[in-house]
Structure 1
Amino acid sequence: MIAQGMKKRNRGGSSGRLSSSSSIGDLTGHAGENAIATVSAPAPGEFNDVATADVVLGLQLELDGPPSPFSRDVEGPASSPHADPVPSLELYLHSVVLRRCRYFAALLSDRWRHAEQEETTPHGKIYRFNLKVSLPSANRHRPFEAHTSVLRLLYTRDFVSSIVTVSGALEILHVALEILFDDCVRACVRFLEAVPWSEDEERMILSVIPYLPQPESADLVSRILPSTDERTSSEEMLHGLVLSAIQAHPSMPSVKAFVARLLKEFPSRDSVGRVLDRGFLANLETVKSLLAEYASPDFRTAGDNDETEAIQRLNLHAALVSTRKLLWLIERMIDMKVADNAVREWSEQTALAVDLQKAFKDEAWRNIAPGLPAYVMRCTSRLANAVAAGSILSDRQVRMRLVKNWLPVLNVCRDVVSPMHSGQKLLQQELEETFLRIISTLPLSDSQDLLQQCLWFSTRNADCPHLISAFNTWFRRANRHQGEENGS
C-alpha cells in the first residue's frame, strides 16, 4: 500500500514540475516520463527504491544567479502556487544511508528537522527535503547527474568504478563537499592527486583547494602550490636548470637554447635576475681564484717541475671553462635586461684584470687555454656594448672603472691574440670602438686620462677613424667657452 501510494505521488507530483521548462530527457540525459525512469528498477532498500524509502529528496534546478558548485538551499515541500514551475527531480532514499554524510545527518537530527518536512504514513514517517542545484554550463543537459552519482555512492561506496576522469572527479567532488560526504571527498582528492591534468583542469582544481580538508589534501596541494617554507622553490629550479645549461657539453647547444627560452618566458624577471646573478657571481669567483693562483709569485718562483706545470695547466684550463660559462650567463642577463649587477661587478675586477695581463704575457696559455683571451674579450665586449647602447644604465663611476680596468687587458690581448670575427667586425676593433663610446660619456678630466691609454689603437692602422673621432670630440668640448650654448 505504501509503495503504491508513493508511486502515485511520484507520477502525480513530479511530472508537472519536470515538464515546466525542459523535457526529462534534456534534464537527465535519459528518456522517460518521469525522473525515476532514469534509474533501473532497484532492489529493496537500494538507491531510489520507492517501496522502502523514508526520505524523498527533491533536486530543484536553480536557474537564476551565477552557477556555483557549492550553492545549496533546504526548503519545505511546498512552493508558491503562483511561482513558475522549476525543473526538478525526486529521488527516493533512506535515512540510514543518508546519515553517512554529515549534511544529511544534521538535517535528519531532531535539532534541524521541522514538522512540515515530515509525513506520517501507516509504515512510518516520510521526510521530504529540497536541495537547490546550480546549473553548470558543462552539464546543461544533465544538471542532476553529479548529485545523483554522489547520492548513489552513499549506497554503493564504489568510488573506484565511479571516479575515472578528472572532470568527473571534479563534478563529484563539488557535490561531495556540498553535502559533506567525507569518504567521497577523500576518494576524489586521492584520484586527482594521482593523475595528470590539463591546464583548464588545473585551474578548476585551484578553485576547489580552499574547500578541501587537511591533512587529506596535503599531497594534492603540494603538487599545485608551493609550501610556505619553499619561498624560493621556483628560483631553485631555475638555478638547477642554469647549472645544467652552463655545464652541458659544447656539442649540445640544444640544452642551452632550451634553458634560455625558459628563462625568457619565465613570468618573474626579478627571479630570473637573481638566479643569473647567483650563477654569474659563483663563476666569477672561480675565475678570480684560478687566475690569482696562476699569477701567484709562489708558483712563479717555484721552479720548473712536473707538479707545478700540471697545476698551472689545470688552473688555466679550468679558468677557460668558467669564463665560457660566464659568457653564456652574461648573454642571458643582457637579453633579459638584468645585467646591471654584472656590469658593476665586472667593472670592479681590478685584481682579476691584473692577473689576466700576467697570464697573457706568458706563453703557456697558447697551448693550454688558447681561447681564454677571446672569451675574456667577448665577456667584456657584451657588457660594454650594453652600457654604450644604453640598455644598461650605469652611473659614471661604473662606466669609468669598466674602461679603466679592462682597457689594459684589451691592449695586452691585441698583442697576443690574432684578430677574431664577431659578426661583421673584428672583436678587438669592436671593443675598441665601444670603449671610445663609453669614454665619450665621461667628464672631460676622466676621459682625458683614458683617451691617452687608447693611443695603442692607432698601431693597428694609421688611418684610425674611430680614434680620431674620439679625440676630435674631446678637443671640441674642451675648447668650448664656459656658458657657450650654441656649440659654435
Structure 2
Amino acid sequence: MASREVSTMIKHGFIADPSLSFSPSRTAKLSSAAVSSPPPPSPPPPPPANESSTHSNPTLFDMMSEEHHREPPPRRKSHSHARVTQIMAEFKNDVVYGPSDVKLTVVGKDGYRVTMDVHKKVLSDKSRFFMVKMSSRREKGVSHMVEISECDDVEIYVETVVLMYCDDLKKKLIGENVVKILALLKVSSAISFDEGVTSCLEHLEAAPWSEDEEEIVVSCLEELHLPYDVDSVSLILQRVSSEPRKGGTDDEIFLKLLTGVLKAKDDKARREMKVVIFKLIREEADVEVSKETLYGLCHRCLTSLVLCLSEVTTQMLDPGQDRGALMGEIAREADNMLWMVDILIEKKMCDEFVKLWADQEELAELHSKIPTMYRHEISKITAQICVGIGRGRILVNRETRFAVLNTWLEALYDDFGWMRRVSSRSLDRKLVEDGLSQTILTLSLKQQQVILMKWFDRFLSKGDDCPNVQRAFEVWWRRAFIRQVMVEPDASKLQITLYD
C-alpha cells in the first residue's frame, strides 16, 4: 500500500499507528521504573476474543465493531415515573388529617408500583369504590392495605387520589389541558369519585377545545356512559351537536348563508366566504341541502343575470355611462352563477342545470349584443359545465349535451381570448380544452363532425384565441375514416363489426 494511503488511514483511525506501540527498550524502562511503585490492581478480564482485540491500539474500525456488541445502557425512568415521584414529594397529607391509617398501592400494567400513605376517612367519604374496599375486616396493626392493580396510567391514579384532598377541586384543575382532564375523568368515574367527575365535566364545558380534542371528548363521553350526570354531559355535547331547531331547519339556515353571500356588498368578503363555504361543502359530503333550495337560488341568479344584461344593452347607448361599473356588475352576477354551478357539481345535482343553461336562448341573444370585454365572464359557466361533463361529474343525455353546445359554444369561442388573457390565473386553459374535447366526443359521430368542422375553420383564423380541441378532432377523424364500427342486424342478435 502506498505510504500516502497508509498515512491517510492512520489519520482517520482505521489502522493503528506503529509509532504508538511500545518498543522492547521502552518496555524495559517502564518495567524498571515500576519496581518502586505499588503493584497495580488486577486488570479486568479480557474481552471476548475477536480479530480486532489483537491490536494493542484499537482503530476506529475496531471501536465501531466493538460498539455493536456492547450492552445497551439501562433505560431511564419514564417521564411518568418522574412525575409520580414529584407528586409524592409534594403530597403533604398529615397536616390536616393527622397520621395516615391506610397504605394504598397502585400497580401499573408494566409492574411499576407506588405506595401512598392515605386516610380512610378521606377516601371513604370521596369514593364509593374505596368505601367498599375499606369496609372489610382490618388487617393486623393500625392500617388498612388497599391495592389497585393493572392500571393503565399510574400517574393519573395517583393524581386522582391526591385530588381527593383538595378543598377547591375546580380551581385546582384550572390550566390543565383537555387530554389530562379526560384521563382524570376516566379514573374518577372508575373509582366512583363523584366530585372529581363533576369537576372534570365542568372544566370540559367551560374550556376551549381544538378540533382534534373535540373528537376525543365526544368519544370519551360516549364510552363512559355517565348516567348520574346526564345533564352535564348533554350540556358539553351541545357544543358539537344540536337539538331540533325552533328557529328553522338546516335547509333554511343553509339558504340564508348562500343568499347572504350572493348579495354581499363587500366584494372581498364575498369572495372569501365563497371559498370558505365551498371548502366546507367539499369536506363534508353529507351536508344536507335540498335540491329545491339550490335550484331556487340558481333561478334567482339567472334572473339577475338576464336583467343585468338587459340594462347593460340599454345603457351602452348612453355615452356618459361608466362602462367599468357595467363590467363589474356583469362579472359579479356571472361569478355568483358560476359558484352555484360549482356547488351543484359538488353535490351531484347539476344535471338539471345543464338543461336549464341550454334553454337560455334569451340570455345568449343578449350576450351576443354586448362587447366581449364586458361579457366574457359569462362564458366561464359554459366552460365549467363542459369540464364537469368531460370529467364524468355531470351525467345528462346526448340531446342536452348537444343543446348546451349549440346554444353557447359560439359564445365560448368568441370570449375565449379575453378569458385567457384577463383570467389567466383563475382559468386553467388545458382543463377547459380537455373538458370541451371530451364533451364533443360523447356526441354522435354526425354531431361531432358538425361541431369540429366549424371549430376547424375558427381555429385556423383565430389561433390561440380559440380553444384548442385538436385531440377531439384527431379522435373524430380516426372514428370517421379509419376505424369504422358498423352495426349489422342478424336474425338472433346484433353483430358489431370493426372495419380498419
Fold shared, TM-score > 0.5 on shorter chain: yes
1:422 counterpart letter in structure 2 = R
Check if 1:259 corresponds to 2:276. yes
Q: Cα 1:487–1:100, aligned 2, differ >3 Å: closer, same or farther?
A: same
Q: Distance in 1 between matches of 2:473 and 2:186?
A: 77
Within 1, Cα distance between the matches of 2:476 and 2:108?
81
Match of 1:17 in 2: none
**1:226 aligned residue:** 241
Give the direction of change, closer, same or farther, for the CA distance of 1:128–1:406 in structure 2 (3 Å limit). Answer: same
* 1:349 counterpart = 2:357: yes
Structure with more contact order per residue of length (Cα contacts < 8 Å, sep ≥ 6): 1
- Tell me, in whole angstroms, the C-alpha distance in 1 between the residues paired with 2:476 and 2:220: 69
Paired residues in the alignment total: 390
State TM-score, norm by structure 1: 0.59
Indicate how the Cα distance of structure 1 residues 59 and 197 shifts in structure 2: closer, same or farther if over 3 A, else same.
farther
Confirm or deny: 8 A CA contact 1:62 1:134 kept in the other structure.
yes
| Contact 1:173-1:184 within 8 A present in 2 as well | yes
Q: State the partner residue of 2:389.
A: 387
Q: Identify the range of structure 1 (254-263 vs 184-193) with the bigger mean alpha-carbon deviation.
A: 254-263
Farther-moved stretch of structure 1 (320-329 vs 477-486): 477-486
Aligned equivalents of 1:436 and 1:59: distance in 2? 78
- Deviation for aligned residue 1:281: 3.0
> Alpha-carbon deviation of 1:384?
0.8
The 3 A distance-change label for structure 1 pair 62 and 240 is farther
Distance apart, 1:407 and its partner CA = 1.9
Q: For residue 124 of structure 2, what is the amino acid of its counterpart? A: L
Tell me which residue corresponds to 2:406: 407
Residue aligned with 2:350, SS: helix
Does residue 128 of structure 1 match 2:144? Answer: yes
Residues 103, 180 of structure 1: 8 Å contact kept: yes
Q: CA 1:89–1:133 in structure 2 vs 1: closer, same or farther (change >3 Å)?
A: farther
1:403/1:89 Cα in 2 relative to 1: closer, same or farther (>3 Å)?
same
Alpha-carbon distance in 1 for matches of 2:429, 2:83: 77
Deviations 1:68-105 (A, max 9, x none): xxxxxxxxxxxxxxxx996432312327x733544455
Q: Does 1:176 align with 2:191?
A: no
- How far residue 354 of structure 1 moved from its aligned partner, in angstroms, is 1.4
Residue from 397, 420, 435 that aligns with 2:418: 420
In structure 2, C-alpha distance between the alignment counterparts of 1:147 and 1:428, rounded to whole Å: 63
Change (3 A) 1:468 1:117: closer
> CA distance change for structure 1 residues 419 and 102 in 2, over 3 Å: closer, same or farther?
same
Contact 1:28 1:38 in 2 (8 A): no
Q: What is the aligned partner in structure 2 of residue 214 from structure 1?
A: 230
Q: Is the 8 A contact 1:411 1:456 kept in 2?
A: no
| Distance in 2, Cα, partners of 1:428 & 1:105 | 75
**CA–CA distance in structure 2, aligned partners of residues 217 and 136 of structure 1:** 24
CA 474–243 in structure 1, closer or farther in 2 if over 3 Å, else same: farther
**1:387–1:438: 8 Å Cα contact kept in structure 2?**
yes
Q: Which residue of 2 aligns with 1:40?
A: 92
* Amino acid across the alignment from 1:394: L
Alignment of 1:82-101 (within 5 A): 87-94=114-121, 98-101=124-127
Give the alignment partner of residue 359 of structure 1, picking from 366, 383, 387. Answer: 366
CA contact under 8 A between 2:305 and 2:333: conserved in structure 1? no
Check the 8 A contact 1:361/1:412 in 2, yes or no. yes
Q: Gaps (5+ residues) in structure 2?
A: 1-76, 316-320, 464-468, 489-495
Q: Which amino acid aligns with 2:106?
A: L
Deviations 1:45-85 (A, max 9, x none): x34x22xx6xx4442223348xxxxxxxxxxxxxxxxxx99
* Residue aligned with 1:192, SS: helix
Q: 1:325 aligns with which of 328, 336, 342?
A: 336
Q: Distance between the aligned counterparts of 1:244 and 1:291, measured in 2?
A: 16
Matched residue, 1:378: 380
Answer whether contact 2:188 2:196 (CA < 8 A) is retained: yes
1:476 to 474, 477, 481: 481
TM-superposed CA distance for 1:128, in Å, is 3.1
CA shift for structure 1 position 132? 0.9
Q: Give CA deviations for 1:249-280 in whole Å, capped at 9, x if unaligned.
A: 555697268527844872x4343xx6697886
Separation in 1, partners of 2:462, 2:195: 87
Q: Does 1:194 align with 2:221?
A: no
**RMSD, aligned α-carbons:** 5.6
Q: Given the superposition, is the C-alpha separation of residues 241 and 105 from structure 1 closer, same or farther in structure 2, using an over 3 Å criterion?
A: farther
Contact 1:291 1:316 in 2 (8 A): no
Structure 1 stretches of 5 or more lacking a match? Answer: 1-20, 66-83, 305-309
Q: Could you tell me how far 1:359 is from its partner in structure 2?
A: 2.1
Question: Aligned AA for 1:61?
Answer: V
Deviation at 1:361, TM superposition (A): 5.0
What is the aligned partner in structure 2 of residue 29 from structure 1? 85
- Tell me the CA shift for residue 229 of structure 1: 3.8
Q: Give the SS at the match of 1:90.
A: strand
Output the amino acid matched with 1:218: S
The letter for the 1-side match of 2:204 is: L
User: Once the 2 structures are TM-superposed, how far is the Cα of residue 284 of structure 1 from its aligned partner?
Assistant: 1.8
**CA deviation profile, 1:283-312 (whole Å, cap 9, x unmatched):** 42113334666899xx9xxx99xxxxx9xx
Judged with a 3 Å threshold, the aligned counterparts in structure 2 of structure 1 residues 358 and 283 are, in CA distance, closer, same or farther, namely same
Question: Which amino acid in the other structure matches residue 163 of structure 2?
Answer: V
Larger radius of gyration: 2
Q: Secondary structure at the match of 1:394?
A: coil
Percent identity at matched positions? 14
Question: What is aligned with 2:107?
Answer: 62
Match of 2:165 among 152, 155, 177: 152
The yes-or-no answer on 1:285 pairing with 2:299 is yes
Which residue matches 2:176?
165
Hey, what does 1:269 align to over in structure 2?
Answer: 285
- Deviations along 1:25-49, one digit per CA (max 9) or x if unpaired, are 9694159xxx8x7643734xx34x2
Question: What secondary structure is seen at the aligned counterpart in 1 of 2:94?
Answer: coil
